Amino acid sequence: MNKKIDLKEAISIGIGGMVGGGIFAVLGLAVSLAKGGTPIAFLFAGILALITSYSYVKLSKKYPDSGGTVKFINQGFGKTIFSGGINNLLWISYIIMLSLYASAFGSYAPNLLELTHDIIIDSHIYASAIIILATAINYYSIAVVGKIESYAVIIKLVILISFIFIGAYGLIGNPNVAQLAISQWEAPIKLFAGGMVIFVAYEGFELIANAAPDIINPEKNIPKAYYYSVIFVIVLYIIIALVTVGSLPFAKIATAQDYVLAEAAKPMLGKIGFSIITVAALISTFSAINASLYGGSKVNYEIAEDDELPHHFLAKVWNQPIGLLITAIATLILVNLLQLESISTAGSVGFLLIFGFVNLVGYRLSKETNSNKIIPLVGFVLCITATVILIKQQYASNTIGVIISIAIIGFCFLLEWIYKKSEKKKTVPNKELR
């Protein structure tokens, strides 16, 4: 349990957290929103992730704790209704991410094996089945979850990098390369909004914070782990976006939106390429579901431990925190109720707000963390601005997604307010008795 983590393993945690199911789930959505400017949309989102990683570096070095983001929020705002609401939003955002990964798994799987004659029913069956399987594995053994993660990171990176090299070669003489021309880009505000919708593809770097107490030579390795992993993923996503937009006509991308990466492998490798990328997507999304289920239940446990959720959440069911079961059930409900774009919007809004407030903590504690005040402040302003732009842009085309996002945020703070009020009522009679 007390195994030390070296730089290579810390970078793997960051890359593995980001290159989970995100790129497979949101690439088609990104192209539909940004068109030829999709690589720029990924760049916008990546720059915001990189600025935010600065706050994470400084906070992880000063306050290394396995609670990660939960502890940073409490450190900056105290254990208040506000910090409790933000931490609840983090837990709910994990559930949204799980729904996104399961939705991607459900979109790719029927391409290999149809269960019924209805693709929508098939995708729901697969999405539900993978959540149930991952929950069973998490209950069976956390060690198995770790092993799956370590192998999955290598497999998906090998396949994605191979896709890049083969796909880039396939761009020679491909007429669809013209789609990358500036004339094919959406307006700058739409590019930015597109980048924010798919911001969820970058959120996983924050997992390094949970590993910070165990990282060898933290002064040197914590900054390297964050910056190397985020920069690597920005470059990876931009090249994948270039290859995809240059390989397929927009109409084809729109048709295959939910499994577009597999479709993009077809021009060069035909059906075999399609199948290989589909398998990579299934492995990636499965490993991301596995890790996020574990992470989500851990976040839920940490929040309850900090008196920001009822202590009932500290209870265990089959030797695991009850939060694991609640997280899995909530994910099953969400994935079967919401469309991909609504899930992605809600996830991005959640993480933009969380990262915005982590940046604000970085700004407020800049003296304690010995950091530059300007970078966290810029990060905070950008995250909040991005949230407003995202909500405004999405409201026109995805009203349900925006309403769900706002309702989730309201629910998180309401839940915390009710809990804190009920706790106060319990303590007042006790004091009177004394």
**Could you report the per-residue pLDDT of 403-412, keeping only the tens digit for each?**
988 998 999 9
Measure CA 366 to chain center.
26
Q: What is the dihedral of CA 93, 97, 99, 100, to 10 degrees?
A: 140
Mean pLDDT of 375-398: 89
Mean pLDDT within 60-78: 90
Instruction: Yes or no: say if 48 and 199 are a contact pair by the CB < 8 Å rule.
Output: yes
Instruction: Report the first-to-last Cα separation within the chain, whole angstroms.
Output: 43
- Among the residues of 248-265, which ranges form H helices? 250-255, 260-264
pLDDT at 229: 93
pLDDT (mean) for 224-253: 92
The mean pLDDT of 59-72, rounded to a whole number, is 90
What is the reported pLDDT for 1? Answer: 44
Q: Of 162-171, 242-251, 420-429, which one has max mean pLDDT?
A: 242-251
Q: What is the pLDDT of residue 433?
A: 45
pLDDT at 276: 87
User: With 60 as the cut, is the pLDDT of residue 434 above it?
Assistant: no
Burial annotation 99-138 (CB, 10 A radius, 16+ → b, else e) = bbbbbbbbbbbbbeeeeeeeeeebbbbbbbebbeebbebb
Q: Rounded mean pLDDT of 211-239?
A: 92
Q: What is the mean pLDDT of the chain?
A: 86
Average pLDDT over residues 54-58: 95
384-415 burial: b if 16+ Cβ within 10 Å, else e: bebbebbbebbeeebeebbebbeebbeebbeb
Q: What is the pLDDT of residues 142-196, one digit of tens each?
A: 667 667 777 777 887 888 888 888 888 888 888 888 888 998 898 888 888 888 8
What is the 3-class SS of 149-195, one letter each residue?
Answer: HHHHHHHHHHHHHHHHHHHHHHCCCCHHHHHHCHHHECCHHHHHHHH
- pTM, rounded to two decimals: 0.86
Say if CB 163 and CB 243 are below 8 A apart.
yes
Least confident stretch, 145-149, 300-304, 381-385: 145-149
pLDDT of residue 288: 80
Note the pLDDT of residue 57: 95
Q: Which of 343, 295, 223, 242 is nearest to 16 (CA)?
A: 295
Q: Can you tell me the distance from the alpha carbon of 26 to that of 340, in angstroms, rounded to the nearest whole number?
A: 8
Judged against a pLDDT cut of 70, whether residue 359 lies above it is answered with yes
Whether the pLDDT of residue 273 is over 90: the answer is no
For residue 68, the model assigns a pLDDT of: 87
- Rounded distance between C-alpha atoms, residue 401 and residue 415, angstroms: 21
**Pairing label, strands 320-321, 316-317:** antiparallel
CA distances from 239 to 21, 44, 80, 236, 292 (A): 17, 14, 43, 5, 26
pLDDT at 12 over 90: no
Residue 213 has pLDDT above 80, yes or no: yes
212, pLDDT greater than 80:
yes
* Overall residue count recorded for the chain in this entry: 434
Residue % of the chain over a pLDDT of 90: 29
Predicted pLDDT at 223: 95
